[in-house]
Amino acid sequence: MASKPPADDPVQDAPQVTAVQHAAAGLPAVAHTLRMAQRQMGVRRTAGTLRKVNQKDGFDCPGCAWPEADKRHVAEFCENGAKAVAEEATLRRVTPEFFAAHTVADLAGRSGYWLGQQGRITEPMFLPEGAERYEPVSWERAFGIIAEELKALGSPDEAVFYTSGRTSNEAAFLLQLFAREFGTNNLPDCSNMCHESSGSALTETLGVGKGSVSLDDLHQADLIIVAGQNPGTNHPRMLSALEKAKAAGARIISVNPLPEAGLERFKNPQTPKGLVKGTALTDLFLQIRIGGDQALFRLLNKLIVETEGAVDEDFVRTHTHGYEEFAAAARAADWDETLAATGLARSDIERALRMILASERTIVCWAMGLTQHKHAVPTIREVVNLLLLRGAVGRPGAGVCPVRGHSNVQGDRTMGIFERPAPAFLDALDREFGISSPRHHGYDVVRAIQALRDGRAKVFFAMGGNFVGATPDTEVTEAAVRRARLTVHVSTKLNRSHAVTGTRALILPTLGRSDKDVQAGAPGKRGTVRFVTVEDSMGLVHASRGNLPPASPWLLSEPAIVARMARAVLGDASATPWEDFERDYATIRDRIARVIPGFEDFNARLAANPGGFALPHAPRDERRFPTATGKANFTAAPVEYPKVPEGRLLLQTLRSHDQYNTTIYGLDDRYRGIKGGRRVVLVHPDDARALGLADGAYADLVSEWTDGTERRAPGFRVVHYPTARGCAAAYYPETNVLVPLDATADISNTPASKSVVIRLEQSPAD
């Protein structure tokens, strides 16, 4: 067994500052990976487990959604994927004895890091009304409690079913089916806080809310713009793709307020040359002010429109709608305003323009740096405008590449985890199952919190994730969740959401990706090993098969949990064969094949294609744009950017190198030179000096919202750091307390976690 985690909270958040790094991966990453993995799993399990990650006969990495190349490497994972696997495959256990020793109040006083370090949850646990501790409960009783509470509701819309993006296609399909049979579209998911803005922007402009490029396209591109994304930490395998594109002559523009090590230089640990020297990736670094991207892309579009021969007129005429109106708006873009909004030099923007005009195959990649702003949707539409002007959609080596987060967040949405489902989807579901799904929209994440806060929602069920940890406005959200009658979490590991509960609470422990999912055979017969499927960021669907003995014999798989819950709640009123679904996931896939376009002959195609198969994508495959106009739409929203009052900074809340969302692996952020603590705020040295804050001073972060309310996160070490002027950065989830619940993106309602106006108040003791 691996060593037991320390009994006391080990978190002494005392950040130290070392040198900022200018290259990602390389030998230190390999050493770091093995150390982290062995601490959780021991030496033998580490080797056996990591060998199976992302292999055709293995399991899908529970880290990010970046796709695998068809030809797999023996070690098809990255440092952070290995950490994600080690967290899940850990030998540490959270048993009923653990819960007997720790009251819920005690757990609520612990850091998220400490909670996660305790290990895998082994048995279903129940917190009765008024009790101080969770106690063990049978699965049957647990489902009975859920049924009691759901049946006692005045309306099915008083229940909320949240999904985090690790859930398999099979479990997600069952969960949305259950919710709709029960009678609600209240199916918020982590995507509401993540790429919802991308989905909104792409559906309107291109007709499909997903990326339009494959890994091969990336390799063939001659210009890749990476805007608002930190792949060195969050999608490390993307660096191999960028390296390959560069080797074939591509150029790369990075648009980011921070110089991120992974975009500067990549030391590929899979090649000897890579390990030592590495490849410089970025050709042009546009160090943009937070929230300046719409202005930047609008100005670039103006320059393209005004340059003779720069617009792909054939493409625009044949495939697009709204060019004239857009071109007029673009021509009105103003240099001075753009320079103020972006903080960039004119010469840099002109250089970017020359690179764009020289490119025949352009791809734009983006992530949370573009999606989590008030004006995120028009920002992404402006990116689309640029690609449309250049005819760079539906052509090899060109297109849109929103880089998705959780490993199956895209698949969950494809399966119908969505609070605003398309009528055609519900029609197909109703036909297949003989049900009548509700047609009115449900709650997304922010609306679910508001409903809990206002007493309109009373039962909260979460398929994975860490709802109170990941959502904005921590104090408001926690108070909202505490008002629920019942909170239920299907989880692998402990997190803050298990300590902030409704009147009654359940923890339902489940199998993770790496766990072997065995369906017991008939007496005397061997059981069968089941697999599930996932969809990556580029629309490839493939199987995922765990290979480790499960963390405990009492775990149920996610599909089994949904199926049993459905039987307990719906009883004989449901004609859906829930028992068959639990026994044989192939029967779920047969239904998916009949309900969801692109999954025809699902089981047969999986068998025929061990590496997976690609879902259809009309713009990519046939330059067909299933939008309202039947064409790709230019859009011309007014340009917006955050205005920051004197003496204030614009804070972005982001990820360190040692975390996976709210799961904290460790207290270092190696590439940014931070060690041993997470309560740091990165500020440009000139801004810090102007505010009278020395490097190493301590300050409270105070956010100021338009309604006059203030929110405070105390005790952050000020680190002088080369971010863009006027901007600051600090880690999430510690800073979620600063993000007002009402501060969301227009249209997508995504929390604006990347543009929070703050002031820094030096700590009195300092």
| Residue 290 site contact among Mo ion, ligand MGD, none (CB < 5 to 8 Å, cut-off depends on kind) | ligand MGD
**Hey, what amino acid is at 88?**
E
Number of CB atoms found within 10 A of residue 284's CB: 15
- Provide DSSP, 140-171: HHHHHHHHHHHHTSSSGGGEEEEE-TTS-HHH
CB of 315: closest distance to Mo ion in angstroms? 32
**Do 288 and 344 touch, CB atoms closer than 8 A?**
yes
Q: In the set 169, 197, 279, 753, which binds ligand MGD (CB under 6 A)?
A: 753
* Cα distances (angstroms) measured from residue 547 to each of 259, 444, 505: 39, 35, 31
| Residue 732 site contact among Mo ion, ligand MGD, none (CB < 5 to 8 Å, cut-off depends on kind) | ligand MGD
For the four alpha carbons of 276, 656, 168 and 520, in that order, the dihedral sign comes to positive
Closest-CA residue to 512 (of 556, 543, 466): 556
**Do 461 and 162 touch, CB atoms closer than 8 A?**
yes
188 binds Mo ion (CB under 5 A): no
CB of 287: closest distance to ligand MGD in angstroms? 9
CB of 419: closest distance to Mo ion in angstroms? 17
Nearer to ligand MGD, 691 or 743 (CB): 743
194 binds ligand MGD (CB under 6 A): yes
| Residue 256 site contact among ligand MGD, Mo ion, none (CB < 5 to 8 Å, cut-off depends on kind) | ligand MGD
Stretch that binds ligand MGD, among 12-20, 201-209, 364-372, 546-554 (CB under 6 A): 364-372
Closest-CA residue to 261 (of 470, 19, 590): 19
3-state secondary structure of 650: strand
703 binds ligand MGD (CB under 6 A): no
> Residue 691: which residues within 8 A CB-CB, separation 6 or more?
647, 683, 760
Q: In the set 61, 174, 187, 194, which binds Mo ion (CB under 5 A)?
A: 194
DSSP conformational letter for 288: P
DSSP conformational letter for 669: B
Nearer to ligand MGD, 124 or 228 (CB): 228
750 binds ligand MGD (CB under 6 A): no
CB of 139: closest distance to ligand MGD in angstroms? 15
Map the footprint of ligand MGD across residues 201-240, applying CB under 6 A: 227-230, 233-235
Number of residues in contact with Mo ion, rule: CB under 5 A? 2
Q: In the set 41, 159, 400, 470, which binds ligand MGD (CB under 6 A)?
A: 470
Nearer to Mo ion, 723 or 753 (CB): 753
3-state secondary structure of 410: helix
CB of 290: closest distance to ligand MGD in angstroms? 4
662 binds ligand MGD (CB under 6 A): yes
What φ, ψ does residue 597 adopt, rounded to 5°?
-55, 140
Burial of 270 (0-12, 13-18, 19+ CB in 10 A): middle
Residue 567 CA to residue 589 CA, distance in Å, equals 19
Tokens 């291109």 correspond to 206
Residue 116 CA to residue 93 CA, distance in Å, equals 11
84 binds Mo ion (CB under 5 A): no
**Hey, what amino acid is at 28?**
P
What φ, ψ does residue 534 adopt, rounded to 5°?
-140, 165
507 binds ligand MGD (CB under 6 A): no
534 binds ligand MGD (CB under 6 A): no
3-state secondary structure of 130: coil
Residue 721 CA to residue 684 CA, distance in Å, equals 5
For the four alpha carbons of 343, 344, 349 and 350, in that order, the dihedral sign comes to positive
Per-residue binding string, Mo ion, 384-413, x by CB under 5 A, is: ---------------------x--------
**Do 195 and 374 touch, CB atoms closer than 8 A?**
no
Nearer to ligand MGD, 62 or 394 (CB): 62
Stretch that binds ligand MGD, among 50-58, 265-273, 283-291, 352-360 (CB under 6 A): 283-291
**Do 667 and 11 touch, CB atoms closer than 8 A?**
yes
| Residue 606 site contact among Mo ion, ligand MGD, none (CB < 5 to 8 Å, cut-off depends on kind) | none
- Report the relative pairing of strands 120-121 and 93-94 from DSSP bridges: parallel
Number of residues in contact with ligand MGD, rule: CB under 6 A? 62
Q: In the set 576, 661, 703, 748, which binds ligand MGD (CB under 6 A)?
A: 661
Stretch that binds ligand MGD, among 143-151, 410-418, 509-517, 530-538 (CB under 6 A): 509-517
Stretch that binds ligand MGD, among 201-209, 414-422, 464-472, 619-627 (CB under 6 A): 464-472
CA dihedral 94, 96, 99, 100 (to 10 degrees): -140
Nearer to ligand MGD, 36 or 470 (CB): 470
Nearer to Mo ion, 116 or 405 (CB): 405
* Cα distances (angstroms) measured from residue 286 to each of 342, 344, 353: 9, 7, 12
Residue 147 CA to residue 141 CA, distance in Å, equals 10
| Residue 255 site contact among ligand MGD, Mo ion, none (CB < 5 to 8 Å, cut-off depends on kind) | ligand MGD
CB of 406: closest distance to Mo ion in angstroms? 6
**Structural Rg of the chain based on CA atoms:** 25
198 binds ligand MGD (CB under 6 A): no
Nearer to Mo ion, 64 or 245 (CB): 64
67 binds ligand MGD (CB under 6 A): no
CB of 489: closest distance to ligand MGD in angstroms? 7
Nearer to Mo ion, 259 or 405 (CB): 405
Binding region for Mo ion (CB under 5 A): 194, 405
Binding region for ligand MGD (CB under 6 A): 62-64, 80, 164-166, 190, 193-194, 227-230, 233-235, 255-258, 260, 288, 290-291, 293, 367-369, 372, 405-406, 463-467, 470, 490-493, 495, 510, 512-513, 558, 652-655, 659-663, 732, 735-736, 739, 753-754
